[in-house]
Structure 1
Amino acid sequence: MYVSGVAVSKFGVSPKSYPEMMLEVIQQALADAEINPTELDAIYISNNLAPHTQNQCHLASVLAGYFPDLYLPIFGLEAACAGGGVAIHQACVSLRAYERILVVGVEKMSESAPQDMLYFVAADADREFDQREGLVFPAGGALIASSYMQKYGATTDDYALVSYKNHQNGNLNPQAHFYGKNVSLEMIKESKIICSPLRLFDCSANTDGAAAVILERQKRGKRAKKIIASTLATNHVNFAQDKDPLDRKEVQKAAKKAFSQCGLLPKQIEFAEIHDGFTVIELLMMENLGLCPFGEGYKWIREGRTNLDGQFPVNPSGGLKACGHPVGATGVRQVAEVVTQLRGEAGKRQVERNNLGLAFNFGSLVGSCTVHILKND
């Protein structure tokens, strides 16, 4: 399986509609892959919030209206924040039936009031156990952050370092929401408390954005990059069933299966895009993916190992923290970033070692999660 074309829109407040946002990145991805729409066999769309924010369901048929007379199979997928990763995983599975598939992720969040958006996003949590108790995602993230500090001895300063690193990277990424915005370590540490111990700059930003990738069964062209592992694992989505919120069995299973698929060890991965909806999550997922020992993630950030010029760069794009988190687009953007790094086309944020990269995407805290490993071939 190969990725032959990628595109990521500028993340940030956009006047464009859902169809316009999708069409922008679709056209760019097609151009990047040097193909036209008639050469596609299927399309997968990842979106989470359009039914809430725009009263718009069935984006598959909406998109089909812009490609008349093609009558392609178009599939709409929703898996909370993991939708993009799930769409790519499903496309990988579907390459047994199709030769060439386009995956597009899109979200428009800027037109809804913050209180409304909090309510809409909370729909991705368990209705019976979490929503009715008021356990919105920042509260869940705060519980995880507190547990991590208590168990391992991390501090809020460590979380601030994650945020600072990702903002530094994002300031090198023209597509990032925070590109061109100078976010200092002092600003991060002094930002307002959202849900203790998490501050404003520990949380990813709501934003608008879209991303697209084109997957092909066979390699075509020198710039195509190989997907050597694609896995999906799903767990319950409520805190009531969690014995230990730091022990993410679903993440461990997805990672173990991914490394088994490609015959690699975690230590062989050279850089990663890791879902960081909250700063603590970046550290926690590094550990559960097997990329660093349990309880060592905060030490790695202190030592600078995950910096752009470190031994193991994490989120060279800026991650969700600095790129922003347009829910349905994030997982697609992550894979597009890995491909861009493998191609050596990431500009000022280019990692030095770029032969093997990993993208990890998850939904809720955590319900669905995907692992994709890509390499130069």
Structure 2
Amino acid sequence: MNKPVYLDYAATTPVDPSVAEEMVKYLTPDGVFGNPASRSHAYGWQSEAAVESARRQVAELINADPREIVWTSGATESDNLAIKGAVAGHDNPHIVTSVIEHKAVLDTCKWLEQHGVEVTWLTPGPDGRIRPEQVSEALRDNTVLVSLMLVNNELGCVTDVAGIGRMLRERGVLFHVDAAQAAGKMPVDVSALSVDLVSLSGHKVYGPKGVGALYVRRSPDVRIEAQIHGGGHERGMRSGTLPTHQIVGMGKAFAMARDRLESEMAHLEELRASFLQGLSDLDGVTLNGSSEFRVPGIINLAFEGVEAESLMLGLRGLAVSSGSACASATIEPSFVLRGIGLSDELAHRALRFSFGRFSTAEDAAFAASQIVDVVSRLRAVR
């Protein structure tokens, strides 16, 4: 049986073969397998050098100082460290976030809310974007942190992080941004965006799963309290033995993303245009989220008169999703789609298609053809 065409790159990306090849060098007895924290022999020194080289590679993609990169197990941990770490030690802290954030942010803020932290939940417009004036109006004297994602993982829309960041910098409020879906998909410059904390993921950028990073601004120093203790690694912000092979893989993946950014964005734009053109003769198709402020690789579509679950079952030749992988176990309609004002009925008709580095023009044409056939067939038997 042939594998279905993979159109779920927003959930995870395959590890680039060049990345996997590099990672193997840091696993076996004839490679660099030492503990980076072992400072008394060459095995540890070599591993530490590899970790610091990868730290520079990650920093270069987002125009940061390598000393501002803290290794974590992924963007979920980075979100937790940034948010919990920022509010720790404050009396009566207040947080501002939105109702369409990733579950790693939503659940963290809900947990803090249950433990006495005030949280303001902003609602985006139909385009899925939070605007600077919304954030400004939500600020209070005790606001410690604003947490918003740069690119929404279900819609692909891009928030005006730079505008929000400039306003928050003037107000002296910390700004955390989940950029897991943005890094490697669009230019990300932490200086130009005026952000203080940025969550990054390895497996969204053709690197391995189980590794991520948190950017923590140094000038002036942003202070966050560690959430994992046991050795004081990563300048006291995140303890634990560093997985050298995974970190090297993330560094290699981010270096490749930096070198290929323009060409990959152009590639994805071409695939997007081809895919949507292939659906142009199909009536009753609605694009969810902004058509202007977005990354090219994520497309969320609702199909009139067709349930998303039925459509997915019919699309046996495609691997797609009805929303975020973190919420795929539920049959509830997407909270993101409801968050931008869609009714449950409309939200139940939406699918997310996400293209990536290894997607081809043939994949886009095949996907469009399959969708037209299956949607037409399902509508005919209503």
Give the TM-score taking structure 1 as reference length: 0.25
Give the TM-score taking structure 2 as reference length: 0.25
> Which structure: larger Rg?
2
